[in-house]
C-alpha cells in the first residue's frame, strides 16, 4: 500500500507564474517482496452491444484478416499489450447464458434474446469453442463466469467437466464430437456474477450458502485445479464482503469487487464521454480515486478472516461509464474514449499495483466497442483508444516486484475542492530494471518530482508519455493518432536523484537502468 509522508525539496519549478516546490519521492528497492500479478491487467468480453458480435466475432463477408470469424487485427493488438486473461460471457449476461446452446453445429444452435442488453437476438454462433480459440490466439487465460442466477448446479458442473476432464464420459465424448479431444484445463471460474443484483438479487447470506453448493460440484480434475471466484460486493457494500469471507472464504480462490467511475455520480444522467468542463472532469477523477478507499476497506475486512492473504481480491469490472454516444443504441453502451479515460486507467492501475498483495486479478470493462474500450471498430476499420495506450505503457509491471513508493502529493484544486494531483507505482522486473508509472491529473499545472532510489544502482532513464492538448481529445476513425504515446525526455539524472518534470494531464512511464 502506498504510504505518504510530508517531505518537500526546496528546488522550484514555475507553473502558470507561481513557484511550486518540487515533490520529494522515495522508491524503496530494498523491500521488493510482492509480485504485481499480470492478471491485474485482464479484460472483459461480455455479450453486450458490439463487443463479441461485430467486435471479436465478425461476419464472413467482412474484408479483414480472420481465423474462422475471429478478427485477427484485434487479436494482434491485444497480443501487443500482453493481455493475460479474458473474462466471458458476462457480466449480467452470464446468468442467463446456457452453455449447451453455444456448442455443436452452428446452424443447429438455438437463438436467444439478450434481455439484459438491448433485447437483441443472438444466434449462439460464438460459444465455448469459439471463445477458447480466441484465448488461444491471444495467448491469454480464459476466465469463465458461470450461470448461478438462472442455471443449475448440474449445468455448471457439466460445463466444468466438458472443459477440464480427460476421462471418458458423456461430456468429454461430446467435446470430442465437437472438435476438441483434449481438455482445455480452464483455471479461472466465476461462480455467478453480481448476485446482489442482475445475477439474482440475493442476500449475502443466501448467496454464500449457494456459492458453496455450486463451488462444491465445480470439480477439480487431474491436472486442472479450479480457481473458484465468488461474486463479491457492489462498490461500498462492505457487509457483503464480511458475510462472504466469514461463511465461505475457505472455499474460494478469489472474491470480486465491482466499481465504475460515473462522472456525475448519477446513474440516471452519467455525463458525456467527450463534452465536459474542468469541474466535471474533477468530479470524475474524485470518483475514480474512490477506488483507493474501496480496495483498502475491502482488503481490511478480508484480512480479518484471511490474514495470510490467500484469497485474492478480484476487481473484475472497473472503468468509466458515461452516457452512450448520441444516436447509438442505449442498450449497447457504446462510448468514446478521451484523454480523461487514459488518466482514469493509469490512476486505477497504479492503485491496483500498490495493493497487489491483495489485488491479484482485475478486468477492465470492456475490450471492444463497450464502455471504456481498448478498441473501437467501424466496418473494417479499427482504432486504438487512449486507454489502450495506457495498457501498452503499463505492461512492464506484469509479474514484476512491487517497489513501495513514499511521497506527499501536491493538491489539484478546482472551485475550492482538492484532490491529490499525482499518483505513482513502481516495480522491478526480472532483469533488474526499475519501472515507474506516474499520472498527473492536474489539468493545467506541470509538477516537478525529485525521486530518490536508495539501493538502486542506475545510470540511464528512458521515458514515454501519453497526453494531448485537451482532456476531451479522442482518437477517431478519421484521425486515429491524435492521442498516442510519444517519447518523453523531461526526466534526467541529477546526482543520485531522478528529476522528472511531469506535464499537466499526462501519463508517463519511465525505465531506469
The b-or-e profile of 452-461 (16+ CB within 10 A means b, else e) is bbeebebeeb
Residues paired with residue 224 on neighbouring β-strands, in sequence order: 221
Residue whose C-alpha cell reads 499495483 in the numeric block: 353
Cα–Cα distances in angstroms (integers) from residue 266 to residues 166, 271, 284, 338, 354, in the given order: 49, 8, 11, 20, 29
The C-alpha atoms of residue 228 and residue 188 are separated, in whole angstroms, by 6
All cell numbers assigned to 359: 489485488
All cell numbers assigned to 468: 494531448
Q: Which helix (H) or strand (E) holds 343?
A: helix 339-354
Cα–Cα distances in angstroms (integers) from residue 346 to residues 121, 391, 473, 509, in the given order: 36, 8, 16, 10
CB contact at 8 A, 165 and 183: yes
All cell numbers assigned to 302: 478480508
276 phi and psi angles, rounded to 5 deg: -155, 150
- Per annotation, catalytic residue among 122, 317, 392, 497: 317
The C-alpha atoms of residue 404 and residue 27 are separated, in whole angstroms, by 6
Of 165, 215, 223, 154, nearest to 190 (Cα)?
215
CB contact at 8 A, 471 and 339: yes
Taking the CA of residue 36 as centre, how many other CA atoms within 13 Å lie in the half-sphere pointing to its CB? Answer: 29
Q: End-to-end CA distance of the chain, in Å?
A: 24
- Per annotation, catalytic residue among 96, 141, 194, 392: 194
CB contact at 8 A, 364 and 342: no
* Beta-strand relationship, 359-364 and 375-378: unpaired
Whether 194 is catalytic is: yes
Residues contacting residue 58 through CB under 8 Å, at least 6 positions apart: 64, 66, 69, 71
Residues contacting residue 48 through CB under 8 Å, at least 6 positions apart: 90, 91, 93, 114, 116, 117, 332, 333, 366, 370
C-beta neighbour count of 374 within 10 angstroms: 26
Catalytic residues: 194, 317
Amino acid at each position: 500500500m502506498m504510504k505518504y509522508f510530508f517531505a518537500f525539496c526546496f528546488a522550484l519549478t514555475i507553473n502558470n507564474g507561481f513557484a511550486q516546490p518540487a515533490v520529494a519521492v522515495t522508491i524503496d528497492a530494498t523491500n521488493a517482496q510482492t509480485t504485481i500479478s499480470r492478471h491485474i491487467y485482464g479484460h472483459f468480453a461480455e455479450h453486450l452491444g458490439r463487443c463479441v458480435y461485430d467486435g471479436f466475432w465478425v461476419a464472413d463477408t467482412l474484408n479483414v484478416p480472420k481465423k474462422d470469424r475471429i478478427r485477427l487485427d484485434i487479436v494482434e493488438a491485444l497480443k501487443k499489450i500482453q493481455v493475460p486473461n479474458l473474462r466471458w460471457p458476462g457480466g449480467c449476461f452470464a446468468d442467463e447464458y446456457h452453455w449447451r446452446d453455444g456448442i455443436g453445429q452452428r446452424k443447429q444452435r438455438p437463438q436467444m434474446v439478450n434481455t439484459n442488453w438491448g433485447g437483441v437476438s443472438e444466434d449462439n454462433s460464438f460459444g465455448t469453442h469459439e471463445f477458447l480459440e480466441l484465448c488461444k490466439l491471444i495467448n491469454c487465460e480464459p476466465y469463465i463466469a458461470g450461470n448461478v442466477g438462472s442455471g443449475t448446479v448440474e449445468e455448471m458442473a457439466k460445463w466444468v467437466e466438458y472443459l477440464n476432464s480427460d476421462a471418458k464420459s458423456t461430456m468429454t465424448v461430446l467435446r470430442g464430437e465437437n472438435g476438441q479431444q483434449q481438455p482445455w484445463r480452464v483455471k479461472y471460474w466465476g461462480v455467478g456474477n453480481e448476485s446482489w443484483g442482475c445475477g439474482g438479487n440475493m442476500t449475502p447470506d443466501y448467496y454464500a450458502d449457494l456459492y458453496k453448493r455450486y463451488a462444491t460440484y465445480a470439480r477439480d480434475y487431474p491436472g486442472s485445479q479450479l480457481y473458484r471466484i465468488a461474486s463479491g460486493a457492489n462498490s461500498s457494500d462492505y457487509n457483503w464482503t464480511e458475510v462472504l469471507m466469514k461463511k465461505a472464504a475457505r472455499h474460494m480462490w478469489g472474491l470480486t469487487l465491482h466499481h465504475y467511475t460515473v462522472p456525475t455520480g448519477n446513474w440516471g444522467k452519467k455525463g458525456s464521454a467527450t463534452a465536459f468542463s474542468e469541474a466535471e472532469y474533477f468530479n470524475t477523477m474524485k470518483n475514480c480515486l474512490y477506488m483507493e478507499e474501496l480496495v483498502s476497506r475491502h482488503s481490511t475486512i478480508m484480512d480479518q478472516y484471511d490474514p495470510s492473504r490467500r484469497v485474492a481480491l478480484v476487481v473484475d469490472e472497473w472503468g468509466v461509464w458515461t452516457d452512450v454516444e448520441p444516436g447509438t443504441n442505449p442498450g449497447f453502451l457504446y462510448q468514446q474514449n478521451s484523454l480523461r479515460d487514459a488518466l482514469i486507467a493509469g490512476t486505477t492501475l497504479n492503485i491496483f499495483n500498490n495493493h497487489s498483495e491483495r489485488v491479484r486479478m482485475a478486468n477492465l470493462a470492456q475490450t471492444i466497442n463497450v464502455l471504456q474500450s481498448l478498441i473501437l471498430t467501424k466496418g473494417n476499420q479499427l482504432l486504438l483508444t487512449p486507454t489502450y495506450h495506457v495498457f501498452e505503457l503499463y505492461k512492464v509491471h506484469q509479474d514484476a516486484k512491487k517497489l513501495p513508493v513514499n511521497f506527499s502529493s501536491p493538491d489539484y484544486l478546482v472551485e475550492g475542492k482538492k484532490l491529490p494531483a499525482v499518483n505513482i507505482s513502481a516495480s522491478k522486473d526480472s532483469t533488474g530494471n526499475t519501472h515507474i508509472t506516474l499520472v498527473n491529473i492536474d489539468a493545467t499545472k506541470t509538477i516537478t518530482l525529485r525521486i530518490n532510489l536508495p539501493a538502486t544502482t542506475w545510470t540511464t532513464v528512458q521515458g514515454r508519455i501519453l497526453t494531448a492538448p485537451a482532456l476531451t481529445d479522442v482518437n477517431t476513425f478519421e484521425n486515429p493518432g491524435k492521442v498516442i504515446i510519444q517519447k518523453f525526455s523531461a526526466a534526467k539524472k541529477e546526482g543520485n536523484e531522478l528529476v522528472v518534470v511531469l506535464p499537466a494531464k499526462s501519463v508517463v512511464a519511465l525505465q531506469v537502468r
